[in-house]
Homo-oligomer: A and B are copies of this chain.
Amino acid sequence: MTYELYYWPSIQGRGEFIRLALEASGQAYKDVARDADGMAAMMRLMGNGMARPPFAPPFLKADGLLIAQAANILAYLGERHGLEPQDPQGRWFTRQLQLTLADLVVEAHDTHHPLGPNLYYEDQLDEAARRSEDFRTERLPKFLDYFESVLASNPDGPAHLVGTKLTYTDLSLFQALEGLSYAFPKAMSRVRKDYPKLFALHDRVASLPRIKAYLSSDRRIPFNEDGIFRHYDALDQ
């Protein structure tokens, strides 16, 4: 079976968390909206009186199901492809961590769009600078402290966030660190030494053979200033 992933074709965005899970578990998938006519196919699946419509991309077609919301898609893939622990405690905790990462992603996005998604960044420069300062000095350390403590307190050791095996949450943490380092290179290089376990996990994920191959392929869309993680010098002082 070939999965069909639907996501905006020019950004990593929330689709990237799904791509990483599909790549790491070696699944065949089609990144539909990157093909000719793919955008039209994606738009047809949104709204129009269809039963069980998605609100927004990403969504995944598989086995007659259409599943949306990144954390939900990951839970689905995790169950099927061994990217989630099988014991209930580990499974609920993996899902909990994924939702906390999703919260971090929203806040990272809002640094450049504090007044909402409908205005351009250029229309909210001062507000973005204020929100970014709060993010860099208060929120970012709070989240990074938390994930470092999750690694440090994992009863199975600090190699993974949960249990002894790779989960989609490890992959998503890698992606969050990638994105934060792209958006806030100064802030992130200042704190790197404070989070040895986080960055060790990041580096391990980057060197997994399938992930390494993916990252150097043209399936990996480069970061850019249309995505969630954007680099603006003014927001990283």
A154 within 8 Å of B by Cβ? yes
Which one of B64, B103, B139, B154 contacts A51 once the chains associate, using CB atoms below 8 Å? B154
Q: Which residues of B contact A68 (CB under 8 A)?
A: 96, 100
Separation of A230 and B88 alpha carbons in the complex (Å): 36
A196 within 8 Å of B by Cβ? no
Q: Which residues of B contact A162 (CB under 8 A)?
A: 52
Separation of A216 and B139 alpha carbons in the complex (Å): 37
Separation of A150 and B55 alpha carbons in the complex (Å): 10
List residues of A (117-132) whose CB comes within 8 Å of B's CBs: 117-119, 127, 130-131
Q: How far is the CB of A197 from chain B (nearest CB, A)?
A: 13
Separation of A96 and B57 alpha carbons in the complex (Å): 12
Q: Which residues of B contact A88 (CB under 8 A)?
A: 65
Q: Given A67-B92, A69-B100, check contact A134 B116 (CB 8 Å).
A: yes
Q: Which residues of B contact A130 (CB under 8 A)?
A: 115-116
Q: Is the interface of A mostly helix, strand, loop or mixed?
A: helix
A45 within 8 Å of B by Cβ? no
A4 within 8 Å of B by Cβ? no
List residues of A (188-231) whose CB comes within 8 Å of B's CBs: none
How many A residues have CB within 8 A of the partner chain?
51
Q: How many copies altogether?
A: 2
Stretch at the interface among A22-30, A34-42, A71-79: A71-79
Q: Given A100-B69, A115-B130, A118-B138, check contact A153 B75 (CB 8 Å).
A: no
Which one of B106, B127, B146 contacts A55 once the chains associate, using CB atoms below 8 Å? B146
A54 within 8 Å of B by Cβ? yes
Separation of A175 and B138 alpha carbons in the complex (Å): 30
CB-based nearest B residue for A75: B95
Which residues from chain A sit less than 8 Å from chain B, CB to CB? 47, 49-55, 64-65, 67-69, 71-72, 75-76, 88-89, 92-93, 95-96, 99-100, 103, 106-107, 110, 114-119, 127, 130-131, 134-135, 138-139, 143, 146, 149-150, 152-155, 162
Instruction: Name 19 extra pairs, CB < 8 A, besides A51-B154, A69-B96.
Output: A47-B146, A49-B149, A51-B155, A52-B93, A52-B153, A54-B96, A55-B100, A65-B89, A65-B92, A68-B100, A75-B95, A107-B116, A110-B114, A110-B116, A114-B114, A114-B127, A116-B139, A119-B134, A127-B127
